[in-house]
Chain A
Amino acid sequence: MSNLQEKVKKIFSDEKLDLLIGFEKGTLPLRAAPSFVRKSEDLDKLIFDITCQNNLAKHLLNEIKRNPDQKIGIIAKGCDARAIIHLISEKQLERKKIIIIGVPCCGVISPFKLKNVLNGREVTDCTINNETVICKGKDYEKEISRTDILSGYCLSCQYPNAPEYDYFIGEQTKPAPPEKQFEKVDELEKMTPDERWEYFKKEYSKCIRCNACRNACPMCFCDECFIDRNKPRWVGKGNDISDIMIYHIMRAIHLAGRCTSCGACSRACPMGIDIEALNKRVTKEIKERFGFTAGLDCEKNPALADYKTDDNDEFIM
C-alpha cells in the first residue's frame, strides 16, 4: 500500500492540509486504529485494509468541534464519505474545509464474528490475503474465508466507494447485489410479530448499556443525549429490558433518514447485538416511503427535516 502513502503525501502538501485523518496499524492484530497526522513524514504509517473498522467521520466531527479553522483531509471508505456528506447536509461540517480522499473498500472485519469463528481464541499474528485471512495464535493456525468474518453491513453494502470525493486512490469496487441490501429485514418480516418480539428481546437482553454503539456513531453528535438527561429522566440506565428496548428504538428513530449503514455501531458492540436489523428496517422505510437515501447529496434536506404535502398517510384516521 505504499501507493496510498505516496499519493496521500502529495495531496497533503498540495492542499496544505493541517491534519489528515486515516488509519494506522493498531496495537492488536486485525484491528486498525484511527490515525491523526499533522506532519508529512508521519504519513508513512498510514494503512487501509479490512481491519479499518471505525467510521472516521466521528473523529472528523470531534476535530472540527475542537478547532473549526483547520483544513482536514480524511481517508474515506464509502460509508465514511456518506456520513461526511450527510453531516454537511445537516450543516455540521463545511464542505470547503474538508478534503475527502476516497479509497476502494472491500468490507471490514466484524470483531464479534471473528471471535465466534475462532471460538474465542486469541489472535497473536495474522496474514491478510486476497480471499482469506490466516490467523495464528497459541497452539493453532486457521485460514478463514473473508466473507465469514466481514461485517453484515459490508456484505450488503450498496456504496463501497465514496459518492463524492476530491481524490480517489485505487480502482472503484463493485457494490453488493441490490437484493442483498435489506435481506436481513426481509427475512425477519416473514416472521409473525410475536416471533420478532422474542427475537429482539433475546438480542437486546444481551445489552449491557455501555453506549458503545452511540459513541461509535458519527450521527450521534448531540451535546446531550436523551438517555443522559435526568430532568426528566426519560429512560432508565439499568438493564431493564423495557429501558433497553426504548433506548434502541429511539436510537433507530433518531437515525431515521440519517443512518448511512456504516455498521460502526454493530462492530463497536461488545455483546454482538443485532443492531443492524432495526436500523435497516428504518432505512428501508425511509427509502420506500420518502425515496430518500442518506449521504448522497450535500444539498438535500434529510428525510425527517423535510416533507411533501402529499406524503402517504394511509395509517392516519
Chain B
Amino acid sequence: MENFEPKIMTFLCNWCSYAGADLAGVSRLQYPANTRVIRVPCSGRVDPLFILKCLQDGYDGVLVSGCHPGDCHYLSGNYFARRKFAVLKASLEFIGVESERVHFSWVSAGEGEKFSQVISKVIESVKKIGPAQKLVKKR
C-alpha cells in the first residue's frame, strides 16, 4: 500500500482543460504522472457510462474537467454536465462506492497552475482510499 501509484483517467474538454493541461506542460509545472488523458469536445460529451466503464476496467480514479460555467464553447454543455455529474456522484455514493474515486473540476485554458494542483489533489485523495476494488471486473 505504501508504494501505491494510482491510475487515473482524465477526461479533458478540448477548449479549456486540455489547453490548461497543455499550458501546465509548456510552463514546465511539475505534477504526478499517474494520469491518462482522453480529449473530449466538451465536458457535456462525457457520459456517466464512460466513468463507470473506467472504474470497471480498473482505474482507481476518474477526473472530468471542463470549462468554467459560462465559458462553454458550446454555450451550455458544461451546465448539462454539471447536472449529470451531480446525479452520478449521488448514486455512486449511495451504492457504496467511495466518493473520492470520481472528481470534477473547472479548469480554463489559462489555469495551468490550477490544473497541476487539481491533479495532485485527485491523486492524493485516491491514494488515501487505496486501489479500486468494488466495481472492478475480475477477468
Contacts and interface: CB of A to CB of B under 8 A. Distances in A.
A193 B91 contact: no
- Residue from A193, A240, A304 having most chain B Cβ neighbours under 10 A: A193
B88 interface: yes
Contacts of A226: 49
A134 interface: no
Interface stretch (B6-14, B19-27, B30-38, B94-102): B94-102
Contact of A197 (B76, B96, B106): B96
Interface stretch (A7-15, A36-44, A61-69, A283-291): A283-291
A95 to B, nearest CB: 26
Contacts of B76: 307
Given A253-B88, A303-B83, A307-B80, A200 B95 contact: yes
Interface of B: 48-49, 52-53, 56, 69-70, 76, 79-80, 82-98, 103-106, 118, 121, 134-138
Given A200-B96, A250-B49, A307 B79 contact: yes
Contacts of B79: 307-309, 311
A256 B98 CA distance: 21
B105 A317 contact: yes
Main secondary structure of the interface of A (DSSP, over half): helix
Given A234-B49, A246-B56, A315 B135 contact: no
Contact of B48 (A196, A253, A307): A253
A220 B95 CA distance: 22
A206 interface: no
B134 A304 contact: no
B91 A249 contact: yes
Contact of A317 (B53, B118, B137): B118
A62 B48 CA distance: 28
Contacts of B134: 197
Contacts of A70: none
Contacts of B89: 315
